[in-house]
Amino acid sequence: MSESTGSCAAVLVDGLRVHLGASRVLDGISLRVARGETLGLLGANGSGKTTLVKVLMGLVPITAGRVLLHGSDIRNRRSVPWSRIGYVPQRVNSNPAMAVTAEEVVASGLLTDRNLFRGRRGRGRVMEALEQVGLAGRAGDSVHIFSGGQQQRVLIARALVRRPELLVIDEPMSGIDRKSQEALAATLGKLQSEGTSIVVVLHDLGVLAPIIERTVVLENGRVVHDGAPPSSRPPSPDQDHFHGQVRGQPPRCTAPVIAAGWRGQ
Ligand SMILES: Nc1ncnc2c1ncn2[C@@H]1O[C@H](COP(=O)(O)OP(=O)(O)O)[C@@H](O)[C@H]1O
Ligand SMILES: [Mg+2]
């Protein structure tokens, strides 16, 4: 892979294979997410979506191939700018015995930047992130009394508090009501308009259809589609599916403007 291929990439995955136990869960995955691009990662249950995003976050070891985040190989952990990368996992283990406030959960997103975590500026960032998901008024409440949708918003705030350049979010629409889905779509649309690169795992495009620029579909740990979202017009013959950009044009580093918020939630 040439250096120029990765120069504007938020994510570059090349020949990735992952074994977990006896099974080959990811089998030769290659994909690229340009900076500022919004990628939908789709596929049936068990196709390997969560494993792939966990690999991106350095949470699952690689058997073969490589993964670069903003040009840094994740095997060299210290070289990766984790403090500007936000991750919202599919599931969180919540322990009701621990009375953790929304503010504390969100502040934990700043642990990669100790000065910010401890300082007053950090507290401002935490409140700003809670504001972004419409929960500023609930900062001091224990997350264990929150609904599933509210808990998920706290986790989104924990990712947003980093002001991420890359946001990776695993099945955010599962188990939340339509109104919350629309509010989340608006939040992601705003981040997109600000140039954030977004990788979002989805069952279907749903309310996120307007902001998904490209989809990668997994089947049994392999990429079976990489290109335009299913419902949009077919890609032009010049579309380079592997690199997600049109040949002869510079890579996309910006995205269109869509803005809104969680107001009224
Ligand atoms: N820790 C693990 N050990 C063994 N197999 C696993 C492990 N985690 C996931 N798998 C298997 O990997 C496959 C992909 O799982 P996953 O990445 O969670 O898929 P998806 O998110 O698309 O539903 C499934 O067959 C799952 O059973
Ligand atoms: Mg999953």
- Kindly report, residue by residue over 20-36, the tens digit of the pLDDT: 999 999 999 999 999 99
Residue 202 Cα to ligand 2 midpoint, Å, equals 9
Q: What one-letter code names the amino acid at 172?
A: P
Residue nearest to atom 20 of ligand 1 (CA): 46
SS3 242: coil
d(CA 94, CA 115): 27
Count the helices and strands in the chain (H runs, E runs).
7, 12
Nearby residues of 238 by Cβ (< 8 Å), 6 or more positions away: 246, 247, 248
Instruction: Strands of 9-84 (E only): list them.
Output: 9-20, 23-34, 38-43, 64-69, 72-73
d(CA 91, CA 51): 13
Query: Does the structure show a pLDDT above 70 at 50?
Result: yes
Phi, psi of 104 (to 5 degrees): -65, -40
Instruction: Please give the average per-residue pLDDT across 164-173, as a whole number.
Output: 94
- Compute how many other C-beta atoms are within 10 angstroms of the C-beta atom of residue 83: 16
Residue 41 Cα to ligand 2 midpoint, Å, equals 10
Query: Does the structure show a pLDDT above 50 at 116?
Result: yes
Ligand nearest to the CA of 51: 1
Instruction: Please give the average per-residue pLDDT across 98-107, as a whole number.
Output: 89
Residue 117 Cα to ligand 1 midpoint, Å, equals 33
Q: Which of 1-10, 97-106, 189-198 has the lowest mean pLDDT?
A: 1-10
Query: Does the structure show a pLDDT above 60 at 157?
Result: yes
Residue nearest to atom 3 of ligand 1 (CA): 20
Query: Does the structure show a pLDDT above 60 at 107?
Result: yes
Residue 46 Cα to ligand 1 midpoint, Å, equals 6
Ligand nearest to the CA of 29: 1
1 touches 71 (CB < 8 A): no
- % of the chain residues with pLDDT over 90: 62
The set of protein residues with a Cβ atom below 6 angstroms from ligand 1 is 20-21, 23, 25, 43, 45-51
Whole-Å CA distances, 9 to 66, 202, 223: 14, 21, 19
